[in-house]
Amino acid sequence: MTTDFLVAYATKHGTTQEVAETVTEELKALGLEVELRRLRKVRDLDGYRAVVIGAPLYAGRWQKDARRFLKRHGKALAEHPVAVFALGPLKLTEEDIAGSRKQLDRALALAPELRPATVEVFGGAIDPTKLRFPFSRMEAADARDWDAIRAWARSLPGELLGGSFGQRDGDRPSMTVSDN
């Protein structure tokens, strides 16, 4: 049996998990079969029609579980429609988003065969009560735009499954792929 989507995420303090859960809920609300898993628990990509990968950016780098996942599954990811998201800046200025996107692009270069259909950077969040000193003295912030996250999630079936959205293995039309 084939599952429509794997939503796989890395998280350190739970904020990216909350986004991955929201993406999963939105896809399920569209009638899709979705499995939500931590990146480090994913052993292979067999049985999934499409893959969504999400992880936070820390100190200029995509979280290590995400980088390891790309190295381990790069070739398999190249055979699936893929969407990628990262949580990054605590302010949603154009400059901060662009800086986070550069960090994410550097991480995605670890799997040059990967060609994500869509890549998104969302605002991040910080809860100082979950952090060690000196970070525990930081000001709390949450720049996640839940409306944008939900809208992006709802766009994924069209972006990743295209004309086969809503069709199961047995009733998919044949498709011809051209390099032109």
- 98-156 pLDDT, tens digit per residue, is 999 999 999 999 889 999 999 999 998 877 677 677 766 777 778 899 999 999 999 99
Nearest to 16 by CA among 132, 130, 154, 93: 130
Pairing of β 61-62 and β 48-58: antiparallel
Question: Which H or E run contains 71?
Answer: helix 64-77
* The one-letter amino acid at 108: L
Q: d(Cα 104, Cα 31) in Å, to the nearest integer?
A: 30
Domain boundaries, the chain: 3-165
Q: SS3 for 79-113, per residue?
A: CCCEEEEEECCCCCCHHHHHHHHHHHHHHHCCCCC
- What pLDDT, on the 0 to 100 scale, is given for residue 167? 45
- Residue 83: beta bridge partners? 52, 118
Structure pTM? 0.86
Domain 3-165: homologous superfamily in CATH: Flavodoxin domain (3.40.50.360)
